[in-house]
Amino acid sequence: MPGTTAGKQNRSRTAPRRPGPRNPLTPARVPSLRIQAVHGGVFLVALMTARVTTGRAQD
């Protein structure tokens, strides 16, 4: 029959979406400026720790 879709499956052409890493601050409705400040602070602490433990600056 020309008008039926029997035997055909409706499949999406895109791959199924996998859940990525979740930011715990986003569901808490924390402003993005504070999230960026936290990320920057973590980065600075990591740089300082590397400087103290190796005794030289990171390039």
Q: What is the pLDDT of residue 10?
A: 57
Class of residue 29 by CB neighbours under 10 A (exposed 0-12, middle 13-18, buried 19+): exposed
Q: Is the pTM of this model over 0.75?
A: no
Q: What is the pLDDT of residue 4?
A: 58
Q: Which residues of the chain have pLDDT under 70?
A: 1-12, 15-16, 23-27, 56-59
Cα separation, 18 vs 14, whole angstroms: 12
